[in-house]
Amino acid sequence: MQSPIVPLNPGYNFPPKSPHFPGKSPRLPPKSNLGRSRMASPFCRLRVNSKIGDITSLSSSSDGGFPTLSEYVGQGGANVGDDLVVLFGHLEYACKKIAALVASPYNTSLGEHSGIAGGGAGASGRDKPKPLDIVSNEIILSSLRNSGKVAVMASEEDDAPIWLNDDGPFVVVTDPLDGSRNIDASIPTGTIFGIYNRLVEADHLPTEEKAMLNSLQSGSRLVASGYVLYSSATILCTSFGSGTHAFTLDHSTGDFVLTHPSIKIPPRGQIYSVNDARYFDWPEGLRRYIDTVRQGKGKNPKKYSARYICSLVADFHRTLLYGGVTMNPRDHLRLVYEANPLSFLVEQAGGRGSDGTIRILSIQPVKLHQRLPLFLGSLEDMEELETYGDVQQKVNPGYEV
């Protein structure tokens, strides 16, 4: 029997109509929503202090609820300014759509029915399905365009940056769906993003030139960055330069709620995360480091364990919470879309991001899709690793999986 075609249009179907999402339209940040009542949550009672970005004082909020992401970024929370609040609302919305997409039983046929995807017609006359990373890219692009707050978006999925709006105050760099090679096995994936101010001094340049210059800003100029982990929980972790905070999507309300305020990465962990099938392609220093810590012979006299999901956001998220080091020692991950945003987050949590020799955020990108070795993690583990000197994998033969 032919199975029925179930249309799924990510442009219109989020939140899905179900008892959990009773068909309400997407909530972009209202001017002030601090007074609205919400269901009390069993898992936390948190309150954002009114000082910019300060969430050190946590207590029951007046309405018995807990801060949502839009409350956190708006007045009464981090108060990052109206433009960034609006941009964040659109980013948040895009990521909820991607979360629904990656969890959908129909995602393999998405391109056929998606108003967003619109791929070339196949033999059947219908649009060919598009890979989820392309659809995710289009979701983010359309949300950023609609926000009116973004001058240029540079995406790992696009050859060149896309100029959106002469008056947009921000530049967004993104990897829309990292780890997408894992999708068919329902292994966690993630969106990574970084936000810069538009370089007004480049406004007079031709579009292509100013789009590129804006996108190649050094990570030290980041205004904010974040990732969204699509896993057993959907978690948005972000920093505006005053700590790193994570919010968990509450499917009963559609809100991201503050669950991990002021994350501090432990100064040491007991986990290293790397694709160690590449051991024989590693340089001597990296081999010695891994051999040392897994035998418990490093400065931390504990035997380290290996964990490698092969999905950067998931490996990074675990490292941020539990400590240790997550790494990809070959020239594989991208400086602009992955290394800079995640280094900003780990530094804001008290850790370190390096290419094995120098701080990631101090590197001036010279190419949009520039790749480099990436090491992120606990401060003391990272410092110890770097003493081994020779940790960057120079041999990069190309691996099939």
List the one residue from 165, 275, 370, 396 that touches ligand FBP (CB under 6 A): 275
State which of residues 187, 310, 321, 388 lies at the interface with ligand FBP (CB under 6 A).
310
The span of 43-51, 73-81, 174-182, 220-228 binding ligand FBP (CB under 6 A) equals 174-182
- Contacts of 392-401 spanning 24+ positions with Cβ under 8 A: 392/283, 392/286, 392/329, 392/330, 392/355, 392/356, 392/357, 393/278, 393/281, 393/282, 393/283, 393/286, 393/329, 393/330, 394/283, 395/281, 395/330, 396/281, 396/330, 396/331, 396/332, 397/281, 399/278
Query: How far is the CA of 91 from the CAs of 69, 102, 113, 200, 273, in angstroms?
Result: 11, 16, 23, 23, 29
In whole angstroms, give the CA distance from residue 299 to residue 384: 8
Nearer of residues 45 and 181 to ligand FBP, judged by Cβ? 181
In the sheet that holds 305-306, the strands lie side by side as: 305-306, 271-273, 325-334, 371-377, 352-354
Which residue, 61 or 191, is less far from ligand FBP as judged by CB?
Answer: 191
315 among known catalytic residues? no
Concatenating the DSSP letter of every residue in 359-380 gives BGGG----STT-EEEEEEE-HH
The smaller minimum CB distance to ligand FBP, of residues 258 and 314, is found at 314
Taking CB under 6 A as the binding criterion, the range among 6-14, 37-45, 255-263, 306-314 that sits at the site for ligand FBP is 306-314
Q: Closer CB to ligand FBP, residue 338 or residue 384?
A: 338
Among 77, 111, 168, 179, which residue interacts with ligand FBP (rule: CB under 6 A)?
Answer: 179
Task: Give least dist CB 181 to ligand FBP, A.
Answer: 6
- Residue 27 binding ligand FBP, by CB under 6 A: no
Query: Scanning residues 324 to 363, which ones bind ligand FBP (CB under 6 A)?
Result: 328, 330, 332
Which position among 73, 183, 235, 312 is part of the footprint of ligand FBP (CB under 6 A)? 312
- Chain centre distance of CA 222: 14
| CB nearer ligand FBP, residue 94 or residue 374 | 374
Where in the sequence numbering do the catalytic residues fall?
127, 133, 156-157, 175, 177-178, 338
